[in-house]
Chain A
Amino acid sequence: MNREQRTEDRGEKVLLSGNEAVAKSAIDAGCRFYAGYPITPQNELIGYMAKNMASSGGIFIQSESELSAINMVFGASASGVRAMTSSSSPGISLMQEGISYIAGAELPAVIVNIMRAGPGLGNIWPAQSDYFQAVKSGGHGDYHCIVLAPSSVQEAYALTFEAFVLADKYRIPVIILGDAMLGQMMEPLSVHSQEFIVHSKKLRTKSWAATGCKDRKPNVVKSFYLNLGDLEKFNLKLQRKYKNIQQKEQRYEELNINDARIILVAYGTMARLAKQAMVSLREKGLKVGLIRPINLWPFPQKIFQRLAISDKRLAFLVIEMSYGQMLEDVKLAVNGQQRVEFLGRSGGGIPTEEEIIKSSLSLLSS
């Protein structure tokens, strides 16, 4: 059913999968280069790009590997063009070298990881087992990527758009971290109307890009600092940038936290189930709230720090499709001042609403 174009023009909602929404958003955000290698569960994304990139005036390349894809993105970004690649867990592992180089060369880029369950080949069911890799930076060197975790098709569209803005603003790789559920499911989506769509030619040209040195001094895009002292100086500059991002880019959603005794903490599609459990518990009269981090890096520490020092006793229940990764960031933010507990499953298993309710009830009674 390829009727998307027609309904869009009438400004109506369209029915798209998360994978397609990310791809569509990228093109709407002025992304004009995509390279990728097929891997489930993100094939609809590369498929959408193959179909639509050329007609949007961009370049689509199916690369020979994820290694090649990320380095093509490096080249595209060095050319001053908004560029993206996407993959799933094992492919993202292969890309880590390139992501480190992108961070080191201060290039903007968007990398989409529609996670599957691991380790190894694992399986293609929804999981959140790559949190550490994304948030702690899976490649070598002391760098960071901004990490955004949408929980719906609508948010996948919105955050992908935002990812390109952030990538350019801070000259940093931005990772969209979603799971197979987000990638595969279709939901109604209100897309930007025409006036918000970015025309790549109207984007500000990047003075640092390698475009030929006619009428200016030559530009070099690189991450190599041969002389002792130069790299440290550069790294300190990077660290200042990261600190600035940490101050300014802490996105999260909070629900019912003011009177809460238990605060559920979950991101991505997991947060939808947590929210459902919260609603059920509230219906029973229990004081349960929810924090859904939208940025995973920088982690929204401030809200946790504020709650951690409140006078009343609180418990955080971190719920993940992993065995406890975001848990560490919550613990760091709470800094031992309140109780932090964990509920997680992985390998394709998803904590159910019943399990969340059960864990919450046992926390309330202990």
Chain B
Amino acid sequence: MIERIIIAGFGGQGIMFLGKFIAWAAMRENKFVSFMPAYGAEVRGGTSHCAIVISDKEIASVAFDAIDTLIAMNSPSLAKFVHRLRSGCELFINGSMIDNAPKIRGAKVHTFKFTEIASELGNARTANMVALGAYLASKNLLSLKNILKLLPEAFKNNKKLQALNEQAIKAGMNLIK
């Protein structure tokens, strides 16, 4: 098993947080995992992305070309990575900010209005966690139980934020039928 994920969006959408969160969850499940952030000049101009590799074997390269999973939170980031999508990949597209999902043969494309769903729950900034929920439900690689265990640590003792994020994840999971 090897899963190569790109998460991309604009600054403030919690891209790095989500990437680290997934990597952290994978680590807790004793999987091999790496997290590579965009750095230097790449983070200028408002867009942000990171690359995660999860595997049951030692990870040779933390950088990769072909993407297994893309979580795209806005249009420019989808445009940036669309050429690295191959047959068999899975896309999670934030329909609140992306009008046209790409057509890729053999790809599984999920388009949901992550930002709007998050807004309705009370905070648009949890759109990343709604996307996470959809990812968890569709890929079934990481367990919800473990993910929920991380929330108190991630949000320290802020019970309100913990609850909000848990709601967002669950709302995301419900999107996948």
Question: Smallest CB–CB gap between B40 and chain A, Å?
Answer: 4
CB of A1 within 8 A of CB of B24, answer yes
CB of B60 within 8 A of CB of A272, answer yes
A335 at the interface (CB under 8 A from B): no
B62 at the interface (CB under 8 A from A): yes
CB of A185 within 8 A of CB of B35, answer yes
Specify the chain A residue showing the minimal Cβ separation from B153: A3
Cβ contacts under 8 Å, B39 to chain A: 40-41, 124, 180, 184
B 28-69 binary contact with A (CB < 8 Å = 1; else 0): 000001111101110000000000000000111111000000
Cβ contacts under 8 Å, A273 to chain B: 60-61
CA distance A7 to B153 in the complex (A): 9
B23 at the interface (CB under 8 A from A): yes
> Footprint of A on B, CB under 8 Å?
17, 20-21, 23-24, 27, 33-37, 39-41, 58-63, 153-154, 156
> Footprint of B on A, CB under 8 Å?
1, 3, 6-7, 13, 15, 40-41, 124, 180-181, 184-188, 269, 272-273, 275-276, 350, 353
Specify the chain A residue showing the minimal Cβ separation from B20: A1
CB of B154 within 8 A of CB of A3, answer yes
CA distance A300 to B139 in the complex (A): 45
Cβ contacts under 8 Å, A269 to chain B: 62
Cβ contacts under 8 Å, B63 to chain A: 181, 350
User: Nearest 9 A-B pairs (CB), nearest first?
Assistant: A276-B60, A186-B35, A40-B40, A124-B40, A188-B27, A185-B62, A272-B60, A185-B36, A3-B153
CA distance A6 to B62 in the complex (A): 27
Cβ contacts under 8 Å, A275 to chain B: 58, 60
Specify the chain B residue showing the minimal Cβ separation from A182: B62
Of A6, A124, A180, A272, the residue contacting B59 (CB under 8 A) is A272
CB of B153 within 8 A of CB of A15, answer no
Specify the chain A residue showing the minimal Cβ separation from B61: A273
Question: Smallest CB–CB gap between B153 and chain A, Å?
Answer: 5
Cβ contacts under 8 Å, A15 to chain B: 20, 23-24, 27, 33, 35
